Amino acid sequence: MADTQYPYPPDRFDDEADAATFHGAHRAEEPFWRQNLIYLVIIAAAFVTLLVLLFLIGGMGRDGDDRASDPTSPAASETTEEAPAEEESSEGQEEEAPAPEPDRSIPVMVINAGGINGMAGAWRDSLEGSGWEQVSIGTADNVQQEPVVFYRDEADADTAQALAQEVGAGEARRSDEYESRITFVAVTEPGSGDEGGEGEGDEG
């Protein structure tokens, strides 16, 4: 159609222009959800993932609460089992108590079994100097090679062992061979042996 403000009268060219004008239908606009379908799918997947994570975290929290409130849970059982082990270790420490002090008032007999003149007297002087109160001396019939300490009664075992350690005689032994409660059979002189030649009343 010719423009109404056109100052000239219409001619054949205006008629052709009106006939050639395009009068077609326009395509309808796509809806919002279709234009943003990818974004909507991503948002939905993220929301589902978040829900799953929250569910898992909530389940772990409930398990921890059940274990804390239930005394028969594995954690409580492990704690209970560890307690006896600690008690056993403390009992073992108590058993390692120091040895009792020897009773140095118990009579001790020193026997010269080394064939060295004055050796028993030297041992008597040495033992009395270290606190033994009743030390007597004698001589063995035969020479022996190893020192030994004997005791008659089991009640004197600790004191006899203390004496054996003091004179270097190893383990004390129980025997009824000698009359004295504790008997030390000596084969060498005490210390460096300088005291051996001045024995007092030594029969050996």
Provide the residue-wise pLDDT of the chain in tens; the chain has 204 residues. 445 566 667 666 666 655 555 555 555 666 776 777 788 888 888 889 999 888 888 877 666 555 555 555 555 455 555 555 555 555 555 555 566 688 999 999 999 998 889 999 999 999 999 999 999 999 988 998 999 999 999 999 999 999 999 999 999 999 998 899 999 999 999 874 443 333 333 444
DSSP 2: -
pTM to 2 decimal places: 0.48
Predicted local distance difference test score (pLDDT) of residue 106: 93
**pLDDT of 122:** 93
Task: Kindly state the tokens that stand for 7.
Answer: 């100052």
C-alpha span between 2 and 94 (Å, rounded): 122
pLDDT score for 129: 92
From CA 118, how far away is CA 115, in angstroms rounded? 9
d(CA 145, CA 42): 99
Question: Which CATH number does 108-198 carry?
Answer: 3.30.70.2390
> pLDDT value at position 204?
45
DSSP code of 118? T
Please give the span between the terminal C-alpha atoms of the chain, in angstroms, as a whole number.
Answer: 162
Burial of 160 per CB tally in 10 Å (0-12, 13-18, 19+): buried
Domain ranges of the chain: 31-74, 108-198
* Whole-number Å distance between alpha carbons of 119 and 115: 8
In which residue are the tokens 């001589």 written? 139
Question: pLDDT at position 173, please?
Answer: 94
